[in-house]
Structure 1
């Protein structure tokens, strides 16, 4: 039997890594226990004799039956009991043992993509100060809690990780022991009242650093410093991890038709922010939906593709883009199990495409409450509040989004949103500053050009305004005032009308 994952009951057993996963909890097995569980799983629910089990776990070695009893007892403790109080490993009197729920041939694995597994290792204390140990452990525990709010990867529990405190093992061995695809490691140094913490994200298979950052602070407000580190690491790890998974899929499985791989390729195309790439992404997402019609990740990105297309005023793909966008949004919300990364684009579609300002805002606010450390979710909250709520509150949300991940490409949404608020308030120099910063991040985001054109036109800088208008027409052929207006919320129509008037002054019809 190949060392492919085996599903039984609520568990996924990985014989190669010798791990058992249940939900987001991953437990490491010893070599003997893994061999025994593999033997039981391969029996398909049938009874396995004690002799066969001992031969599997202790091949060629004469051992007492008590050794088998000890191993079975340990596995029972690890697996726990089912909802009716029964052990998952059942004793068959005078015969042997069997699994209560075996992986029958027609058993369907848990729905959804195979998510990457992340482990946050205990940080090294390089200052040899016992107080720093407590601080480092608190930071790690908080980071694990914050990362657990993200649904695009699984985080190994604190107890499992803290059980192995040795820093001597090779990073690849640590990943294998924990069953983790990626590891977060770090160290802490203390000099008087100053602390420095370094954090790194490392793929388990090669040990090379994918992302690293350093945080400096004082012990004057130790809890505020701890919160700052937790917020920053949690928000910046997600895009680094997502990019690593996308690169891996494009490299290792470029022609895979599994829904997860198709979804990752579509995600990469959506990030190009062009009308042509958007069409390609939408086609890929339709392929993925044929494989998994109710996959909430795929549905949410289909929502994103159609909502963004409508909001930018690009030509429609089909006869009823708006109707399909809203249908996808409702289906995604039905199946998302409270995932804020799915709720946010769906809520935005309700606001922006469906003009359901109350219902859409409720969904977006719930997403932000579920994960306030997600840059994209906070950007959506800020932009939607710009359209439907208080402008000061919108600016606070957008500024917080920028603090969360100052290097994430998604920050263009926050910068352009702040520029839009500045145009509304007549602060055109400030609008140009923020729109210029957004342009440096992504030169293909239509809304950034709207702000650059409008602010320059209001300042009487028509030459600059027309240069940006020419660039807008290059990336969005057929763009018009009517198309832009149709794709924007109208709870407070003057907020987009102010921008549109600047575009009209520059010559857009």
Structure 2
């Protein structure tokens, strides 16, 4: 039986907590207690005025319930305005800042205390709020956004610890009328809105060496990282002048993200000892505070500029694919009825990585939806073009002639929109090459590298083009660079496959076998890697294994013929000879 002393009701839960309370107490216990007591008096009064009830308190935190979402959010707004006034004359490290979260949910009430998921969600929302800010759930937003003269920032869908379903979150920005300062957050700067693509700020790296000369090295490296990241058109990167306003300051990453209007923050440190230098970096989600990536690099301190270039390439090549994967995971948690062209792009990329019949079809479908919303989304057009030609090569196409024509149309469309996006050019170059146009594709591939020498896609595209154009050594070199730049990239199977085909053309059959096997370990259903392995084994004289590989190829693609799949200028005589040795149909 249920406990008769426990009641359930639907309320607006208000959770407030002091940011950095332990640090404040450690620095000045008496002053912090005095300041907290004064602020609690203001907070308690405002909760009462808005017909709220304080349920639970524990040191620096307050939990209250309201019968109205509007009253709860209005109370939070007024409370933060009052707290900003109280902090105005204090040094930044002595300010007592609350974070507040508000959620409408079902709660259990026992002896006046609140329990249940409704409480837990409000508490988690509180941790998402910036210091001095308010974060509300989607359920709360639905109740208040048309009623209150307040602007809100969309924080996306959040996964919360011990909460089964993801929760939509919003931050409260400011009143629509800045003149109503007495009842608003207007005196707290309204942040820039988050862009509709991954956004990042690179903070100045800390010099941990005690050597002022290392300051110049650290600053120069950060500037190089900012410049390198800015070459990716898929990223929104904060300029150096804005990032460096935080130099020498103890900062809260959430506050940095809020002030600069970015989702991600990269921070790090430099320490030099003797002739070695150690550089650490970590990428943080400024909304949730979660760590996305971290690594350290230790190098000889000889040529300072070469060292900067080397670390920049390592950091940038690690961050870019990680950001895209994080954005894709976030997109999967969003409601499917709230899609934009960018959302369609995020949802199509995992399907493209699969390279299966279903994956290619879904990628093309989602790309069409994205292009309907934004006809100038060049990168989407480029990826869709690649899908059409890969569908032909992989045996998925029911109308190869039509798919090849559509591949060229989309590639040319992407090129016509603009020609300064390295990654888009890489897809365009590979698509045109796979359709037999090597003259244009070589020039486009080289331009892609010139625009962004830190891009996996640029080097992978160049390797693909150069192999088809008859330069297998350059193809192997390009793919090696691509793999080094992004050693965990979801498209590595394509790089290993292109490398394997180029190695066959160079007569390095044993290396080709290893490359093809690595491609198939990453993607067992990728048909081009199967005919790469089959040809390499046959050329190597391993007839039994070659026949077995050919059998697996025909199981995956019963309609396989050499002329249909290994088409165009990609048909090198060494690859063809290997396939013919196994008796595969012409």
Does the alignment reach a TM-score above 0.5? yes
Residue pair 2:388, 2:404 contacting (<8 A) in 1 also:
yes
Aligned to 1:214: 296
The correspondence for 1:196, drawn from 278, 282, 300, is 278
What residue in structure 2 maps to residue 182 of structure 1? 264
The answer on 1:349 being equivalent to 2:431 is yes
Distance 2:152 2:479 in 1: 45
Does the aligned pair in 2 maintain the 1:121–1:184 contact within 8 Å? Answer: yes
Take 2:448 and 2:565, find their aligned partners in 1: how far apart are those partners? 27
Map Cα deviations across residues 424-447 of structure 1 (whole Å, 9 max, x no partner): 122211111222232333323222
Say how many residue pairs are matched. 420
Q: Which residue of 1 aligns with 2:581?
A: 505
CA apart distance, 1:317: 5.5
Mapping for residues 82-481 of structure 1, pairs under 5 Å: 114-166=196-248, 168-316=250-398, 320-353=402-435, 355-481=436-562
Residues 190, 403 of structure 1: CA spacing in aligned structure 2 closer, same or farther, 3 A cutoff?
Answer: same
* TM-superposed deviation, 1:152: 0.7
CA gap 1:199/1:443 in 2 versus in 1, 3 angstroms: farther
Q: RMSD of the alignment, in Å?
A: 3.2
Distance 2:212 2:556 in 1: 58
CA drift of 1:230 comes to 0.7
Q: Check the 8 A contact 1:198/1:214 in 2, yes or no.
A: yes
1:146 deviation in Å? 0.4
- Which SS does the other structure have where 1:196 is aligned? strand
Residues 277 and 189 (structure 1), Cα distance of their counterparts in 2 relative to 1, 3 Å cut = same
Is the CA contact (8 Å cut-off) linking 1:456 and 1:464 kept in structure 2?
A: yes
Query: After the TM superposition, which parts of structure 1 deviate over 6 Å for at least 4 consecutive aligned residues?
Result: none
Determine if contact 1:35/1:56 at 8 Å carries over to the other structure.
no
State whether residues 344 and 377 of structure 1, in contact with CA within 8 Å, keep that contact through their aligned partners in structure 2: yes
Map Cα deviations across residues 318-339 of structure 1 (whole Å, 9 max, x no partner): 8711222111111111113511
Larger radius of gyration: 2
Deviations 1:164-209 (A, max 9, x none): 1255333222211221101111122221110111122211112222
Which is worse superposed, 117-126 or 286-295? 286-295
Match of 1:210, SS state, is strand
1:144 match: secondary structure: helix
Query: Would the alpha carbon gap of residues 167 and 417 (structure 1) be closer, same or farther in structure 2, given more than 3 Å must change?
Result: farther
**C-alpha separation between the residues in 2 aligned to 1:506 and 1:129?**
66
SS of 1:168 mapped into structure 2: coil
Q: For structure 2, which runs of at least 5 residues remain unmatched after alignment?
A: 1-72, 74-134, 136-149, 155-172
Higher relative contact order (CA 8 A, sep 6+): 1
Change in Cα spacing, 1:477 to 1:186, as seen in structure 2 (3 Å) is farther
Q: Specify the SS of the correspondent of 1:115.
A: coil
Aligned-pair CA distance for 1:154: 0.5
Per-residue displacement from partner, 1:277-333 (whole Å, max 9, x unpaired)? 211221222222222233212211211211211233432368711222111111111
Equivalent residue, structure 2, for 1:489: 569
Q: Closer, same or farther in 2 for the Cα pair 1:144/1:362, shift >3 Å? A: same
Q: Please say if residues 256 and 262 of structure 1, whose CA atoms lie closer than 8 Å, have aligned partners that are also in contact.
A: no
Aligned twin of 2:38: none
Secondary structure of 1:320's aligned partner? helix
Matched-pair contact (CA < 8 Å) for 1:457–1:506: yes
Partner of 1:28: none
Following superposition of structure 1 onto structure 2, how do residues 11-30 of structure 1 map, counting pairs within 5 Å?
none
| 2:507 alignment partner, SS class | coil
Residue of structure 2 equivalent to 1:87: none
Q: Distance in 1 between matches of 2:240 and 2:464?
A: 35
Contact 2:277 2:299 in 1 (8 A): yes
What secondary structure does 1:253 align onto?
A: coil
Structure number having the greater strand percentage: 2
- Offset of residue 477 of structure 1: 4.2
Q: Is the 8 A contact 2:473 2:506 kept in 1?
A: no
Partner of 2:129: none
Q: Do the aligned partners of 2:476 and 2:503 also contact (CA within 8 Å) in 1?
A: no
Q: Distance in 2 between matches of 1:257 and 1:349?
A: 28
Instruction: Indicate the residue corresponding to 2:9 in structure 1.
Output: none
CA distance in 2, matches of 1:193, 1:214: 17
Q: Is the 8 A contact 2:456 2:485 kept in 1?
A: yes
User: Structure 1 regions of 5+ residues with no counterpart?
Assistant: 4-13, 19-33, 40-52, 61-67, 80-108
Task: Tell me how far apart the structure 2 counterparts of residues 371 and 381 of structure 1 sit (CA, whole Å).
Answer: 12
Q: Deviations over 1:85-122 (max 9, x none)?
A: xxxxxxxxxxxxxxxxxxxxxxxx9xxx8212111111
**Deviation for aligned residue 1:143:** 0.2
Q: Secondary structure at the match of 1:448?
A: helix
Provide the rounded CA distance (Å) in 1 between the counterparts of 2:400 and 2:240.
48
Residue 180 of structure 2: which of 41, 52, 56 is its match? 56
Separation in 2 of the partners of 1:378 and 1:226? 21
Contact 1:375–1:411 (Cα < 8 Å) also in 2 = no
